[in-house]
Amino acid sequence: MTTDLTRTDVPTDTRNIDADRELIKAIAMDIGKDVVAYVEVMYPKAIEATSSTFKLSLRNCVYNEIMGALEVIDADEIRTRLEERKKFRRQWTKAYRDLRKKDGGSAAAEEQAPRPFPILYPTRPPTGAPLSIPWSLIAPHRPQAQINHGQTLESLAERGGLAPCELLAVLEDRPHRRMHLEDAIRQIRALCDAFELGAAAERAKLETVE
C-alpha cells in the first residue's frame, strides 16, 4: 500500500504545530538565558553596575528576535531584515568604539592592557614557559575553577595563580589530575596561541564591519 503525498483532505494536526511552537519558544528563552549567563561571566563589573531589569531586557531581546524571525517567510523580506540588522550592527559598533575613545576610562584601559592570570610554578619556571595567560581566556571557566579549587578567579590570582596542570584542568573544564609539567605547559601554550588567533580574527571582522 502506498501513501498519496498529494492528498489535501488530510486534516492538519494543529496539536503538533502548537507543540513545535512551544518547543521553539522554550529554546528561544533558553538561548536568551545563555546569552545573559555569558555576559555575566565576561563582564561581571558591567552587569553589577546596571539596573536589576537589564538582564531581563537582554533575555527578552534575544527571545523576541528569534520569535520575530519565525514570522518572516518571504525571501525579499528576509533579505531586507538581514540588511537592516547589518546596518544596525555597523552603527552600534561605530558608536561603541567612539564611546571607548572618548571615555578613556578604566574600560578602555582594560581593553588595551588586559589583566593577565598568573601561572604558579613551584620552582624557577622552565626557559620559555609562559608566566601568565590572558584573563579573557580563563574567564569563561569560572565555574570549573570554583569546583576544582573552591575559590574565585580573583582569589586564585591574588595568591599567585594556578600551577600549569591545575590551570590546564580549569581551561578544559575537567577535574585536576597529575601530569608532566612539560606536557601541561605545551598544551597551555597551544590554547593561548589558538586564543590569540581567534581574537585577531574577531578584531579583523570588526574592522571590516565599520
- For every residue of 34-72, DSSP letters joined together read HHHHHHHHH-HHHHHHS-TTHHHHHHHHHHHHHHHHHT-
pTM of the model: 0.46
The string of pLDDT tens digits covering residues 58-110 is 677 777 777 777 776 677 777 777 777 777 667 666 655 655 555 444 444 44
Cα 187 from Cα 190, distance rounded (Å): 5
pLDDT at 111: 45
Low-confidence ranges of the chain (pLDDT < 70): 1-19, 38-55, 57-58, 72-73, 88-89, 91-114, 201-210
> Cβ-count burial of 59 within 10 angstroms (0-12 exposed, 13-18 middle, 19+ buried)?
buried
